[in-house]
Structure 1
Amino acid sequence: MFGIRRPLRRAVSLGLPTAWGALAVTYKLTCPPAQQQGLGARIVTSAVFFAVGTGLVVQVRRTLLRELRQARRVAGAAQSALLRPLPPRVGGLDVAVARLSADRGATVGGDLYEVVATEYGVRVVMGDVRGHGLSALSTVAAVLGSFREAAHDEADLGRVLRRLDRALARHLRERARDTSESSGVPDTPVAEEFVTVLLLEIARDGAVRALNCGHPWPYLLRGPRVEPLARADPLPPLGPFPLPPDLTATPCGALRRGESLFLFTDGAAEARDARGRFFPLPTALSDAVRHHPVSARHLLRAVLAALLRHTAGRPADDVALLVLQNGRERAALGARDGDMTGTAAS
């Protein structure tokens, strides 16, 4: 059915402008008023051609908008398949996540995230691919696909990061080769391509370890206090530079019951208002938890609302926000929960 409809729609979209053009030419060649040189005849002829031209413009515009909407639906479906809805609870952690696009018409961005429960604890990745569009989406697919396998296979967090680095390098080489074959020019450099990546591991006892490649450090919320999870200088982003030989994860203390981690991409930290002022993310977090403990979902909604107010609903860059809250009772972190199939909070 759909295979028949698409050629039919394309034939109609091409046939109507052709018919309008043929009508204008026929009028000019055969209609007696079009052969006259008087003022009235000229006005009638101009009106006919104006109507035909307007019809052509309207039809072309409708065709382009229809194709654009179809492309957005396909791109949105592809990104939704990659950034799967996160369950509301993973390994004893309450989870809430939200994505915000800088362009209302854009459905493809470079932000990535995933939370998985493994035998080594809960492992988390958040990253930001340079750029937008299909090239960024393919890079997101390469990095996420590697993480989803390595998080379960590798006991050491550093080896997980090396797997991501190799997957990204392989993807960029293949993309450069495909580009050179299609364009007929030598391999294009990929040195400007990079991905910021934050890896977290939250063990069964709540101990947190991290590896950071150029990504903003998350905030740790302990009661009314808001502080960076770590202050160590991050490694360079993946892509431009090789990883160092020693990849020892940074110890970041423990995530105790009721405490939260707030992860974000730089689109949140660098969001500006109309006067050019940066979004005060720590202040928004403090305001959200000032008077009483809040759930992961409430915290996410409070910060998201503050961000939208600050940017008047129009952030200049894509934004991803992720909240992890230690909501365990008796179960240790990393245990398999029974509600792993829930709907993602947003």
Structure 2
Amino acid sequence: MIRIKARAPTGRATVLPTVWGAAAVGYKFGCPLAQQNGLGARIVTSAVFFAVGTGLILHVRRTLLRELRLARRVARAAQNVVLRPLPPRLGGIDVAAAQLSADRGASVGGDLYEAVATEHGVRVVMGDVRGHGLAALGTVAALLGSFREAAHDEARLDRVLRRLDRALARHLRDRARTGHPAHAGAEPDPVSEEFVTVLLLEIGHDGEVRALNCGHPWPYLLSGTTVGPLSRLDPLPPLGPFPLPAEPAVRSCGRLLPGELLVLFTDGAEEARDARGRFFPLPEVLADAVRRQPVTPQTVLRTVFGALLDHTGGAPDDDAALLVLSSARGPGPEAAADPGARFTPRVKAEPLR
């Protein structure tokens, strides 16, 4: 657990208030001018006490700003540990990711993402915890810790999902016991209102994309100037309220070809509203991004977040996270010999009108 420990005032921190207070008391009881009732004496007395009050207020303000900077440094450190920065390339896949927090001044939120290179290919998770800010950080940490182990240990993607489901259930049970000590020994029901949307992707060494989706928005596929969802199939329910199927069906979504990009996002990016209540036009912004050259995960990320901040006036109502993936692999020898072998059936991306 990450805590910010309140520190007792040190000797140096109490010197200035003591000096100002002693000056005010000394003037009031030791200066003859303070005993007079004339207008000039009252003006001087008021000026003295105004200066003392101003000094104390400035000192308190400076102390609070110092504590705020410390809290923000701790929050950034927590983000770097829990939601660690991703390398620019993993297993032949170029990667770019970033997050915006809805909590003003916070650098952590309820969105989670991770990508790891394994012997099974590059495995990616994108999720959204109910709520945002520091309250959701514990759930994010529990899920990401489970994913980072399961992605390497489990050969099947559905087994990775089941590990995430069990990790979430354990975390919610432990949190419920901690939050309700009067019910120690009783089995609480922590999942009545808690849920997490999760999208799992596996990009094989041949570029094949396989997915498991539990209530999360499907990624957008950027192919040339075409933008469309990776799949239109109905996802499974979010993790938490409902049990997983006995054998969750892993969906094959074709291959990620060189030059194509996958844009994973949380609903805070797609459902952000402007001052007039209009939703953020994510597909249109992505279509604009692919018209710019060069098209890389970093340029797409900058374009989307710049447009999102403009759309919301710099104050989004919900956490928003984006993870952009692009194949950096060249065509294999089989694809070079047979161009038709590079293409497998996939959901057709529809051009924007």
Q: Shorter chain as normaliser: what TM range?
A: 0.7 to 0.9
Farther-moved stretch of structure 1 (18-27 vs 209-218): 18-27
Q: Deviations over 1:107-134 (max 9, x none)?
A: 2222211111112221100112233343
Cα distance in 2 for partners of 1:48, 1:298 equals: 58
Could you tell which deviates more after superposition, 107-116 or 307-316?
A: 307-316
SS of equivalent residue, structure 2 residue 10: helix
For 2:95, the equivalent position in structure 1 comes to 95
SS at match of 1:84: coil
**Where in structure 2 are the equivalents of 1:126-205 lying within 5 Å?**
126-181=126-181, 191-205=192-206
Letter in structure 1 aligned against 2:59: Q
Partner of 1:301: 302
Query: CA offsets, 1:122-168, max 9 Å, x none?
Result: 11001122333433222211111100000111122111111111112
Which residue of structure 2 aligns with residue 323 of structure 1?
324
Which residue is equivalent to 1:72?
Answer: 72
Q: Deviation per CA, 1:52-80, whole angstroms, max 9, x where unpaired?
A: 22211111111111001101101101211
- C-alpha distance in structure 2 between counterparts of 1:331 and 1:22, whole Å: 81
1:207 corresponding residue in structure 2: 208
- Secondary structure of the 1:253 match is strand
Secondary structure at 2:149 match in 1: helix
CA separation of 1:26/1:244 partners in 2, compared to 1, >3 Å: closer, same or farther?
farther
RMSD over equivalenced CA pairs, Å:
2.7
Q: For residues 153 and 253 of structure 2, what CA distance do their matches in structure 1 show?
A: 23
* TM-score, length of structure 2 as denominator length: 0.83
The CA deviation at 1:183 is 12
Q: Is contact 1:224-1:291 (8 Å) kept?
A: no
1:1-346 correspondence runs (5 A)? 10-103=10-103, 105-181=105-181, 191-290=192-291, 294-329=295-330
The structural deviation recorded for 1:229 is: 1.0
Residue 261 of structure 2 contacts residue 327 of structure 2 at CA under 8 Å; is this kept in 1? yes
Mean Cα displacement is larger for which, 39-48 or 276-285? 39-48
Question: How far apart, CA to CA, are the structure 1 residues paired with 2:280 and 2:62?
Answer: 39
**Percent identical:** 71
- 1:286 is matched by which residue type in structure 2? A
**Aligned partners of 1:101 and 1:220: how far apart in 2?**
25
Closer, same or farther: CA 199–60 of 1 in aligned 2, 3 Å: same
In 1, Cα distance between equivalents of 2:97 and 2:166 = 27
Moved more, 90-99 or 171-180: 171-180
Quote the Cα distance in structure 2 between the aligned partners of 1:236 and 1:169.
15
Q: Is the 8 A contact 1:111 1:318 kept in 2?
A: yes
Is the 1:279–1:307 contact (alpha carbons within 8 Å) kept by the matching residues of 2? yes
Query: What is the CA deviation profile of residues 233-288 of structure 1, one whole-angstrom value per residue up to 9, with x for unaligned ones?
Result: 22232223332333112222222232211111112101222322111111111122
Deviation at 1:188, TM superposition (A): 9.2
Q: Is the 8 A contact 2:173 2:189 kept in 1?
A: no
Following the alignment from structure 1 to structure 2, what is the Cα–Cα distance between the partners of residues 179 and 17? 39
Output the CA distance in 2 between the equivalents of 1:182 and 1:111. Answer: 31
CA distance in 2, matches of 1:26, 1:188: 63
Counterpart position of 1:338: none
Name the SS for the 2:274 alignment partner: coil
Deviates more, 1:277-286 or 1:265-274: 265-274
Offset of residue 8 of structure 1: 9.8
Task: Summarize deviations over 1:8-56 as a string: whole Å, max 9, x none.
Answer: 9733223322332233233223322222333333322222222222211
Q: Secondary structure at the match of 1:233?
A: coil
Ranked by relative contact order (alpha carbons within 8 Å, sequence separation 6 or more), the top structure is: 1
Query: Which moves more between the two structures, 197-206 or 294-303?
Result: 294-303
- The alpha-carbon deviation at position 94 of structure 1 amounts to 1.4
CA distance in 1, matches of 2:22, 2:292: 72
Structure 2: which amino acid aligns with 1:65?
L
Partner SS, residue 113 of structure 1: strand
Q: Which amino acid aligns with 1:47?
A: A
CA pair 107-292 structure 1, distance change in 2 beyond 3 A: closer
User: Aligned equivalents of 1:69 and 1:188: distance in 2?
Assistant: 38
Aligned residue for 2:322, secondary structure, equals strand
Question: How far apart, CA to CA, are the structure 1 residues paired with 2:84 and 2:30?
Answer: 62
Question: Structure 1 residues 331, 142: CA separation in 2 closer, same or farther (over 3 Å shift)?
Answer: farther
Matched residues in 2 for 1:105 and 1:18: separation? 32
The answer for unaligned runs of 5 or more in structure 2 is 1-5, 334-353
Q: Judging changes above 3 Å, is the alpha-carbon distance between structure 1 residues 26 and 183 closer, same or farther for their aligned structure 2 residues?
A: farther
> Which deviates more from structure 2 when the two are superposed, residues 251-260 or residues 309-318?
309-318
Q: Check whether the contact 2:258–2:327 (CA below 8 A) recurs between aligned residues.
A: yes
SS of equivalent residue, structure 2 residue 26: helix
Deviates more, 1:117-126 or 1:21-30: 21-30
Take 1:304 and 1:135, find their aligned partners in 2: how far apart are those partners? 24
> TM-score, normalized by length of structure 1?
0.85
SS of the residue 1:221 aligns to: strand
